[in-house]
Amino acid sequence: MRVLIFGATGMVGQGVLRECLLDPAVDRVAAVGRGSTGVVAPKFREIVLPDLMDLSSVEKDLSGFDACFFCLGVSSLGLSETEYTRVTHDLTLSAARALVRLNPEMTFVYVSGAGTDSTEKGHSMWARVKGRTENALRRLPFRAVYLFRPGAIVPLHGVRSKTRWYRLFYALMRPLLPLLERVFPNAVTTTEQVGRAMLAVARSGYSAAVLETRDINRL
């Protein structure tokens, strides 16, 4: 399987990249992002672009993939709806439209979030924008589209968030995470489980297009 990852320098993307590199069934991995991951591996290559809204200069490097794991995203804190929409919706759809043209048989996996609003009409700005993004992706003619909605994600194997307040949160909560996982097994997952679940749906599909934490952990 040949896998393309967007956002491999983020917390989720780091974990997904790790699982792809460890999986013997994945023979080619490429990461698209604004910066380098620093990872060196025989089956891995990077495509670094300053502007991810325009993929035209690297289209020749984006074809021939079986799956795209789209892990790129930002926190909505401090952003207006217009600003958040540009990064979350517009950038995602711009990339997805290019990829479906280049790889019509591709499986596209998008990392959304628990509480996403599929009606696009709720009070939460980020949830509306995520819902609009999910709905637009499902209308594209990929072989399959899967929408991951994890809740709390525990970073494993040295994975670290680039967002300072996420790092502080996990540092403070880490002693309590084993208890939370036992008490709320359907609300907590790990970067390892997210990566393995993505590979599973890309290989074998799943009975639902929207995967909550319990589905991710089950896979």
Q: The domain that contains 148 carries what CATH number?
A: 3.40.50.720
Domain that holds residue 197: 2-218
pLDDT score, position 196: 98
Whole-angstrom Cα distance, residue 19 to residue 16?
Answer: 5
Please state the domain count of the chain. Answer: 1
What's the Cα-to-Cα distance from 166 to each of 36, 163, 170, 184, rounded to whole Å? 21, 5, 6, 20
Whole-angstrom Cα distance, residue 51 to residue 207?
Answer: 35
pLDDT score, position 195: 98
Q: Is 96 exposed, middle or buried (0-12, 13-18, 19+ CB in 10 A)?
A: buried
pLDDT score, position 158: 72
pLDDT score, position 123: 94
Instruction: Give the contacts of 198 (CB within 8 A, at least 6 positions apart).
Output: 16, 19, 67, 69, 109, 146, 148
* pTM for this prediction: 0.91
CB atoms within 10 A of CB 73: 23
Provide the token pair at 124.
Answer: 């939460």
Give me the residue label for tokens 């401090």: 78
pLDDT score, position 106: 98
pLDDT score, position 167: 61
What's the Cα-to-Cα distance from 41 to each of 18, 30, 157, 183, rounded to whole Å? 11, 11, 17, 38
Average pLDDT per block of 10 residues along the chain, 219 residues long:
96 96 98 95 96 95 98 90 96 98 98 95 95 98 98 79 62 66 76 97 97 96
